[in-house]
Amino acid sequence: MRICSGDRSETILEGNHVFKKLTSKKKSIAALLSLTLLATGLAACGSGSSNTDAGGSGNTSVQPGATTAERKMTDGLGHVVTVPAKPQKIIASYLEDYLVALGVKPAAQWSVANGIQVYLQQTLEGVPTIPYDLPFEAVLSFQPDLLLIGSNGTVEGDKYERYAKIAPTFVLGDDILKDWRKTLLKIGDVLNKSDEAKKALDQYERKAAEAKAQIQSKLPDKSVAAIWLVKNSFFVVSDKLSSGAVLYNDLGFKVPSVVKEASASGTANWNPISLEKLAGLDADHLILINSDKDTGSAALNDPIWKTIKAVKTGNVYEYPRTASWLYYGPIASSQMIDHVLKDIVNK
């Protein structure tokens, strides 16, 4: 889960989440092309045109025979990467949501001291873990044939060169990473699974549209907020990022004024908010991600908490820190929709 919408250098570890204090070879073609392929595809391959990437920038250069041979692709930081045609041992730390959506099981999965991405374990159970900061020795031990890196900060300094000596290393880059839809399509492109990526995205869009219709029918003009309690402090989700993008953009809930204010003054996925400020939260429904459950959730016993509108009306829906609400991606977003339909719309 990224609190910051850019680099992901980490200064605090909490539970199974990593976050900042408020801030980021070649195989030759085995056979000659048939006359049919020459007639239908040679012009496109020989024209020097490149595939349009998920962000629409068209900076991915794909060689002829892309589905059966290695490809030269330009990543988000301008590195020209030789990508295997069919990588078998992929490490894509903190990008596992996208791999699961594409039907790909990684060689290792992201972890921190106290946990893993629990919401993905129906698929990833039994997959070995690797520390979130990708120590070189740990990466090397898995003998990967492809490294997929999300943020720019992960490869700062000489890290990229060191990773690239272990395996082909493709960095998505912060511009792509901040939008899960672009991230999904880009990873699909890199893994030769563009069709699967488009199918997964289409399925999500249909699900979101159907859920939005139900919400507008049963709960028209209702507002909702998502609050995260961690280490006795509160954070409110951005109105445009993370689960806020699902609630307000995909599902069409109204944005409470307190959420708008916090989002305007902050740039993170989750922005700090005082309990006193929360007292003025006018949301009809309140989603609470409680990371303090195991330590007593003392902040929830404060008299001010009990004055919040949704708390007084009993419209608070509590989820553990292991739920999908602190993450972002096709699987996480789909699970959020399931939670909203079950707990808020159809309760």
Task: Give me the DSSP letters along 46-100.
Answer: HTT--B--TTS---B---TTTTTS-EEEE-TTS-EEEE-SS-SSEE-TT-HHHHH
Q: What is the pLDDT along the chain (347 residues), one digit of tens a residue?
A: 444 433 333 333 443 343 443 333 333 333 333 333 333 333 333 333 333 333 333 344 444 444 568 999 999 999 999 999 999 999 999 999 999 999 999 999 999 988 999 999 999 999 999 999 999 999 999 999 999 999 999 999 999 999 999 999 999 999 999 999 999 999 999 999 999 999 999 999 999 999 999 999 999 999 999 999 999 999 999 999 999 999 999 999 999 999 999 999 988 999 999 999 999 999 999 999 999 999 999 999 999 999 999 999 999 999 999 999 999 999 999 999 999 999 999 98
Q: Is 33 helix (H, G, I), strand (E, B) or coil?
A: coil
pLDDT of residue 68: 65
Answer for the pair 309, 219: CB distance below 8 angstroms, yes or no.
Answer: no
Which of 35, 34, 39, 59 is CA-nearest to residue 49?
Answer: 59
pTM for the full predicted model: 0.81
Which residue segments constitute the domains of the chain, with CATH numbers given?
A: 12-192 (3.40.50.1980), 201-345 (3.40.50.1980)
Spatial distance between the Cα atoms of 46 and 85, rounded to a whole number of angstroms: 20
Answer for the pair 110, 118: CB distance below 8 angstroms, yes or no.
Answer: no
pLDDT of residue 69: 86
Spatial distance between the Cα atoms of 142 and 152, rounded to a whole number of angstroms: 23
User: In terms of C-beta density within 10 A (0-12 exposed, 13-18 middle, 19 or more buried), how is residue 275 classed?
Assistant: middle
Neighbour count for residue 189 (Cβ, 10 Å): 21
Which of 38, 36, 37, 62 is CA-nearest to residue 48?
Answer: 62
Q: Which two tokens stand for residue 200?
A: 């997964």
pLDDT of residue 151: 96
